[in-house]
Amino acid sequence: MCSEQKEDIIKLLAQILRDKHDNDEIGNLLDIFPTRAELINASEQQLTSIKGIGKKKALQIYALIQLAKSITIQDQKNCIIRTPQDVFKLLEAELCHEQKEHFICLFLNTKNRLIFKETISIGSLNAAIVHPREVFHAAIRRCSASLICAHNHPSGDPEPSMEDINLTKRLIAAGEIIGIEVLDHVIIGGNRFYSLKEHGHF
């Protein structure tokens, strides 16, 4: 996460835990879990293992994380996706600082309301290996009417590779057979995004 985000989270945790803003333990926490994704998936055991964070403090932090996750999930379920900008707003904070490619699917109902957001694959620095069967297995399990694919480019450049374009075409073809439409594939890089649909790739 960027320095401004880290500073805001330190202040918030310090207020909740009634510690000084420059508390070393909170700084250590964010050094060990440097991204939002890593922090929100921290376990109670992992928190307790951090020097200076005892069981009581770990429980407080863990409860805060679970509350934030619950609120986020509820907000996402009420989300309607109409444009690539909507996809970017939903995923930018989660993906913009990841150092590996994360391939995410947004599963939608007939009203384009988000049913579920699922990470299908986490790849290397410059590749996320995805097979259409993984995407549509998840789509069928979620009873999706349609879906939107999204992934990040850790390089910060959202321009699609030929592999990205070919994968999108395979997903569209598979969706036509199964009856679940692929509405778009949005690539996020830094604070920018690229919609394959808007740029005429399908």
pLDDT in tens, 30-89: 778 776 667 777 788 888 888 778 888 888 888 877 776 666 555 566 689 999 999 999
Using CA atoms in the order 172, 177, 180, 184, what is the torsion angle rounded to 10 degrees? 10
For residue 98, the model assigns a pLDDT of 82
C-alpha distances out from residue 99 to 38, 94, 122, Å: 12, 11, 10
In the chain, where the domains are located: 3-76, 80-195
Q: What is the pTM of this model?
A: 0.69
Kindly state the average pLDDT of the residues 23-28: 71
Using CA atoms in the order 177, 181, 187, 193, what is the torsion angle rounded to 10 degrees? 150
Residue 4 has pLDDT above 70, yes or no: no
- Are the beta carbons of 14 and 4 closer than 8 angstroms? no
For residue 69, the model assigns a pLDDT of 64
**Superfamily per CATH, domain 3-76:** 5' to 3' exonuclease, C-terminal subdomain (1.10.150.20)
**Superfamily per CATH, domain 80-195:** Cytidine Deaminase, domain 2 (3.40.140.10)
27 vs 171: CA distance, rounded Å: 43
C-alpha distances out from residue 46 to 95, 124, 198, Å: 23, 24, 43
Worst-scoring range by mean pLDDT, 48-52, 82-86, 129-133, 140-144? 48-52
- Are the beta carbons of 100 and 137 closer than 8 angstroms? no
User: What does the pLDDT look like over 169-193, one tens digit per residue?
Assistant: 999 999 999 999 999 999 999 889 9
At residue 133, φ and ψ (nearest 5 deg) are: -65, -35
| Cβ contacts of 112 within 8 Å, gap of 6 or more | 80, 81, 82, 146
Count other C-beta atoms under 10 Å from residue 53's C-beta: 19
